[in-house]
Amino acid sequence: MKTLVITGGSRGIGLATAREFAAAGWSVVSVARRACAVAGAHHVAADLSDPGWAERHGEELRAAVAGSDTIALVHNAGLLTRDSVASVTQATLREVLQVNLLACVQLDQLLLPRMGPGSAIVYVGSTLGEKAVAGSCAYVVSKHALVGLARATAQDLAGRRIHSVCVCPGFTDTGMLRDHVGGEPAVLAAIAAGSTFGRLVEPEEIARVILFCATNPSVNGAVIHANLGQIER
């Protein structure tokens, strides 16, 4: 049995990824506050911003993957805040790091004992994992760290035949992005104009990249940008 375990599987890239894997014959386990709208998906109702979530939901997660020959662990959940190096509070930085980075380590440690050869860990990073824009300090810091975690994972699991990759989406048409810019059409249009295709990335496009990476160990240790080709200015 092949099982996808994905965080943030209730919307956006997470939901699109859950649908893509389900269509390919995978069982789906979603770790999120809200349920995943994929038939048959197991919902683990966890709030990843709470540092104690793993202790409360660990047994349920391990039971959900029992009997799985192959596990694809996709760290998709993310928190995007509006802040700068001059304004970000320690509380905000801690919360963003908990969701975007520390929860990944917690989930890795929960499931690695259950992950056999052929399994994969996919970290969903961001274009902002290797560059920066103003006004998203905590998010940029967390996604830079996630790239390092993905690379460290590939090295630390050498010999186990479990591969790891960091997929870095560009600006994707999700609720998180729209909420971040206040739903302003002009702002979204300006962002879209920054790609060589003149549009935002669709969540389904990222989902297909994630499925490819989860099933192809040749990409082990890679950082793959899926951004429609950003125009550098």
The partner residues of 42 in beta bridges, in order of sequence, read 29
Ordered per-residue pLDDT tens for the chain, 233 residues: 999 999 999 999 999 999 999 999 999 999 999 999 999 999 999 999 999 999 999 999 999 999 999 999 999 999 999 999 999 999 999 999 999 999 999 999 999 999 999 999 999 999 999 999 999 999 999 999 999 999 999 999 999 999 999 999 998 988 888 887 777 888 888 888 889 999 999 999 999 999 999 999 999 999 999 999 988 77
Domain 2-171+202-226 has CATH 3.40.50.720: yes
Q: Residue 217 carries which DSSP code?
A: G
SS3 37: coil
pTM of this structure: 0.95
Cβ-proximal residues to 233 (8 Å cutoff; 6+ apart), any chain:
none
Q: Which of 21, 123, 139, 171 is catalytic?
A: 139
d(CA 211, CA 12): 15
The question of whether 123 is a catalytic residue gets the answer no
* Residue 35 neighbours by CB distance under 10 Å: 14
Among residues 38, 40, 57, 211, which one has the least CA distance to residue 120?
211
In residues, how long is the chain? 233
Please name the residue that has the structure tokens 């770790």. 31
CA of residue 197 relative to chain centroid, distance: 24
- Measuring CA to CA, how many Å separate 201 from each of 47, 91, 123, 136? 27, 31, 18, 20
Residue boundaries of the structural domains of the chain: 2-171+202-226
